Structures are given as structure tokens and as C-alpha cells.
Amino acid sequence: TPEAACTSTQFHLQVAPEEFPDYWNAAQAIAGVQVALAANSPFLLGKELWHESRIPLFEQATDTRPQEIKAQGVRPRVWFGERWINSVFDLFEENLRYFPALLPLCDEQDPAETLDRGDIPELGELTLHNGTIYRWNRPVYAVAHDKPHVRVENRVLPAGPTVADTLANGAFYYGLTRALVEEERPVWSRMSFSVAEDNLHTAARHGIEAHLYWPGVGEVTVPELVLRRLLPLAHRGLELSGMDSAWREPLLGIIEQRCVTGRNGAVWQKEMFHHIDAGARPGRHEALRRMTQQYMDYMHLNAPVHT
């Protein structure tokens, strides 16, 4: 199915409830940068499309709204959101306001009675309903070891190309969100929500070659934005989180070199495909097959894609 082609790497960030809105806002603000750096899905069914084709594919494959429903303002179930938030409740209230339940849940647990007994309610209806709404950064409520918690589920990134690249993407995400949350004047207070959404789709289309908007800078290339502004913040955020430089430097060094070389997974695939196709001219499908075989070989070596 089309949705099977949208498999992602998902990073979870457990935070205190009162800190959730800041971390969710930070994740939304950097979603475009994340996708630009990590784009790795430029081909679908033999066609060369966006650098990160998962984004439009997932949005379109799950959108069953006819035009008249769209015109009425009914929201799609795969969406970026519509505003910065002040509480995790803002997102669950939007879920209830905009999205009817798709599936019933036969659960004997009464949350109010459970809470009155001093136990922790699982909130099964809430979590099932939330699981049918595919935000690019989704709120998660869960109970683990009899303790409730909330998490930001970051869903924008593709997998690969290597484990090393995926770990680097995670280090950049966790470090940058931590640093942005610590700033005195949050980036989301200086950036419209619609611009953050535009950044996501611009990044999906153009990848690391995109020009994105950032407060205080304006429209800027992704490598320049990351090298001059965001990478130092990611270092600081990881340091604040207690990550030693011996771990942080190699991981964020991969992000740095992606920006220096201008090569991520999508760029490598495109370059390799066109190199094979222009050389031996084996035909489009054979060129894609050879490119995929080389991709697999390099993946097993775990060499970052910029090397």
C-alpha cells in the first residue's frame, strides 16, 4: 500500500507536562530543517520526485476528503497543525473538536473511578483516538510501570541511509530542541506557524538544497543556517543534557559534513542513479536496481552518506 512506503524513523522525547508545549513548539519549528538535512526518499515507483517524497505521499494517501469537504475546512488526518500551543491539552482538544472517532473501544475501565481509587487511568479511548490522527509531531500519553507520562513523538524523518546517519539525526533533534527550549525568547514567538509549515514542505521538495526561513536571518540555505546558527545550539543542548563531547562531536560531525558536502541520502541516490544511467545506459529500472544494490552495500558498511 502507499502508506507502507512512508515508513519513518520516530524519535520520542519524554518531558514533564508543563514543559510539553515548549518542546512541541520547538519540534514544530525545526521540522523543515530536520527533513532538509535527512531527506532520503527521492524515488517512488520508479519516478524521481521530491527529495523527501514520504511527506506528500503520506498526506495524499490518507486524505479521503472530497473537495466539498475540504472547502468546508475539514482538517486532514495527516497534518502539521494550525497554531503554537500553550498546553498539551490544546492538541487533545483539537483532536476532539476536529476529528470524529473511527473505531470504538470496549473498555471497562472508568477513568474517573480509577483516579478516585488512587490508580492511574490508561485513557484508552483518548490514546486510540489520538493514534488515528497523524500529526508530524504527535502528543503521546502513556502509563509505564504505573506512572503516567507525556511524550513528543517526532515523525518527520525517513529511515537511514545508515545507522550512523540515523543516530546523527537523533542527536541533532534532541540537542536542538533542548537548546531552543532554554532560550529566553523562544523561536516560535518570532516565527509564524504557517512559515514553519511552509518550511516543512519546501524542505520535502528540495531537501538540503532548500532555502528556509529562520527568525533574524530570513530566507537562507540549509547548510548556512545549520552551520552558522543551529549546529552550535545542538551542541549546547546535548551538553546541557549531559552528553559528553566524546559522544556528541562524532554524531554532530556527521551533520556538519552533510552540510559541507551538500550530500544526504536523497542527493546520493539522485547522483548515483544519474551516474549509472548516463554511463552504461542500462535503462531506467536497471539503473534504479543497481543504485539500490549499492545503497544496500554501503548501508551494511555503516559509513555516513556524506563519505
Check if the beta carbon of residue 266 is closer than 8 Å to that of residue 39: yes
Tell me the H-state helices in 132-283: 163-182, 193-206, 222-225, 231-240, 245-261, 265-279
What pLDDT does residue 273 have?
97
Number of Cβ within a 10 Å radius of residue 102? 11
CATH fold of 2-301: Creatine Kinase; Chain A, domain 2 (3.30.590)
Measured CA to CA, the distance from residue 21 to residue 15 in angstroms comes to: 10
- Residue with grid cell 559509513, as numbered in its chain: 303
- Residue with grid cell 506557524, as numbered in its chain: 193
Domains of the chain, residue spans: 2-301
CA 107 vs. chain centroid, Å, equals 32
% pLDDT > 90, the chain = 85
- The pTM assigned to this predicted structure is 0.95
Average pLDDT over residues 23-41: 99
DSSP state of 44: E
Measured CA to CA, the distance from residue 177 to residue 152 in angstroms comes to: 11
Does residue 1 surpass a pLDDT of 80?
no
| Per-residue model confidence as pLDDT tens digits over 208-266 | 999 999 999 999 999 999 999 999 999 999 999 999 999 999 999 999 999 999 999 99
* Lookup: cell for 174: 534532541
Beta-ladder partners of 138: 153
% pLDDT > 70, the chain = 100
What pLDDT does residue 184 have?
94
Q: What are phi and psi of 214, to 5 degrees?
A: -140, 135
Average pLDDT, the chain: 95
| Per-residue model confidence as pLDDT tens digits over 46-82 | 999 999 999 999 999 888 899 999 999 899 999 999 9
What pLDDT does residue 112 have?
87
Number of Cβ within a 10 Å radius of residue 73? 7
Does residue 17 surpass a pLDDT of 90?
yes
* Lookup: cell for 251: 554524531
What pLDDT does residue 64 have?
87
Higher-confidence position of 110 and 169: 169
What pLDDT does residue 5 have?
87
| Per-residue model confidence as pLDDT tens digits over 167-178 | 999 999 999 999
Check if the beta carbon of residue 62 is closer than 8 Å to that of residue 77: yes
Q: pLDDT band at residue 4, thresholds of 50, 70 and 90?
A: confident
What pLDDT does residue 102 have?
87
